Amino acid sequence: MRLWKWVLPGLAAGLAAAWLGYPRLAWVALTQPIRFSHSVHARQDVACTACHANAPGGAFNGFPSIEVCAGCHPDPTGGRSEDEKEADKLVSEYVKKHKDVPWLSMVREPDHVYFPHAPHLSGKPAGCASCHPDMAREDYPELKRNRISGYLSRTMPMARCRACHQSSRAADDCVVCHR
Q: Which is nearer to ligand HEC, 11 or 158 (CB)?
A: 158
Segment interacting with ligand HEC (CB under 6 A) among 4-12, 17-25, 112-120: 112-120
Footprint (CB under 6 A) of ligand HEC, residues 34-63: 34-38, 40-42, 44, 46, 48, 50-52, 60, 62-63
d(CA 113, CA 145): 18
Half-sphere exposure of residue 109: CA atoms within 13 angstroms, side-chain side: 14
Q: How many residues bind ligand HEC (CB under 6 A)?
A: 70
Host H or E run for residue 18: helix 2-26
With CB under 6 A as the contact rule, the residue among 30, 53, 91, 135 that binds ligand HEC is 135
d(CA 101, CA 87): 12
Answer yes or no whether residue 86 interacts with ligand HEC by CB under 6 A. Answer: yes
Answer yes or no whether residue 161 interacts with ligand HEC by CB under 6 A. Answer: yes
Instruction: For the chain, report the end-to-end CA distance as a whole number of angstroms.
Output: 58
